[in-house]
């Protein structure tokens, strides 16, 4: 089956200056989308936009700030006339034992992984409702399904985002069933995300048991592999999407083994 086409679609991608966000932006552009790219780092963001071509527009913004998210939306509409799909990709990790987690750690995880998503949903949804179509795609992590030490604070923020997304699906189902709220769950990804985490590097997984590694995503995926799955999900999926084959089965098996 060929790659699904995004011609005539306007897609906003946050966290687009590197990693999965950059790979997603470039994959969308290859599939014909007009892309609006947001990140805090102007230099890398501009490089991604150049690789995306003439149908790309970049906005330097910190999406943990509501006013920046509003400005991002307004610039997207000013440039392309509308938004069809909004991808909340910004996130930040942490690797710290539970007893060492500080107030600042928790605040950072909620701000970066939850508030950025909440702001995106609140800003774009009235526009999608008025148009009667569209999708919001929130990029989570399998750690939101299988919380593990020393990733507890990160996992709590991703689990909260999952719950927020599910509640919003239920809310929209009654009034705007044509609007889609999709949550994408990658496992381990070969990017700089772990190296940019607070505390212990999240990429250091050597001390985790094999069954735990299996539960959080099996083999490591490239950013490009995740981007392809994410783009497919953005176009027509509903509900939860796992980027790796059999990932949901692994999560379910992991949960069934927990004491209860």
Within-domain flag for 255: no
The answer to whether residue 59 scores a pLDDT higher than 50 is yes
- SS3 string, the chain, reads CCCCCCCCCEEEEECCCCHHHHHHHHHHHHCCCEEEEEECCHHHHHHHHHHHCCCEEEEECCCCCHHHHHHHHHHHHHHHCCCCEEEECCCCCEECCHHHCCHHHHHHHHHHHHHHHHHHHHHHHHHHHHHCCCEEEEECCHHHCCCCCCCHHHHHHHHHHHHHHHHHHHHHHHHCCCCEEEEEECCCECCCCCCCCEECCCCCCCCCCHHHHHHCCCCCECHHHHHHHHHHHHHHCCEEEECCCCHHHHHHHHHHCCCC
Confirm whether 154 is a catalytic residue: yes
- Domain membership flag for residue 45: yes
Q: Above 70 in pLDDT, residue 213?
A: no
Average pLDDT over residues 1-16: 85
Residue 259 domain-assigned? no
CATH number, residue 174: 3.40.50.720
On the question of pLDDT at 237 being above 80, the answer is yes
- 3 part of a folded domain: no
Q: Is residue 140 part of a domain?
A: yes
- Determine the structural domain holding residue 184 and report its residue range: 10-250
Q: What is the pLDDT of residue 204?
A: 46
Q: Which residue has the higher pLDDT, 59 or 200?
A: 59
The one catalytic residue among 119, 154, 242, 254: 154
pLDDT exceeds cutoff 60 at 118: yes
Residue 87 falls inside a structural domain:
yes
Number of domains in the chain: 1
Range from 89-98, 117-126, 129-138, 189-198 carrying the lowest mean pLDDT = 189-198
Q: What is the mean pLDDT of the chain?
A: 87
* pLDDT more than 70, % of the chain: 82
The answer to the question of residue 4 being in a domain is no
For residue 1, tell me if it sits in a domain: no
């Amino acid at each position: 089956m060929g790659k699904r086409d995004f011609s005539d679609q306007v897609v906003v991608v946050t966290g687009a200056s590197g990693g999965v966000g950059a790979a997603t932006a470039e994959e969308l552009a290859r599939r014909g989308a007009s892309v609006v790219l947001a990140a805090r780092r102007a230099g890398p963001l501009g490089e991604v936009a150049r690789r995306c071509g003439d149908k790309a527009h970049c906005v330097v913004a910190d999406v943990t700030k509501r006013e920046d998210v509003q400005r991002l939306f307004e610039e997207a509409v000013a440039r392309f006339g509308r938004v069809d799909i909004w991808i909340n990709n910004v996130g930040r990790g942490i690797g710290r034992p539970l007893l060492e987690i500080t107030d600042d750690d928790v605040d950072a995880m909620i701000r970066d992984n939850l508030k950025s998503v909440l702001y995106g949903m609140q800003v774009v949804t009235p526009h999608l409702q008025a148009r009667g179509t569209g999708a919001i795609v929130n990029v989570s992590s399998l750690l939101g399904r299988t919380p593990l030490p020393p990733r507890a604070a990160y996992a709590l923020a991703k689990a909260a985002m999952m719950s927020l997304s599910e509640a919003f699906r239920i809310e929209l189902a009654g009034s705007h069933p044509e609007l889609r709220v999709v949550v994408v769950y990658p496992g381990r990804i070969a990017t700089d995300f772990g190296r940019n985490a607070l505390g212990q590097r999240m990429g250091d997984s050597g001390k985790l048991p094999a069954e735990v590694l299996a539960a959080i995503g099996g083999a490591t995926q490239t950013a490009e592999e995740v981007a392809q799955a994410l783009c497919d999900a953005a176009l027509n999926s509903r509900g939860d999407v796992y980027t790796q084959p059999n990932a949901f089965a692994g999560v379910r098996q992991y949960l069934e083994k927990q004491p209860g």
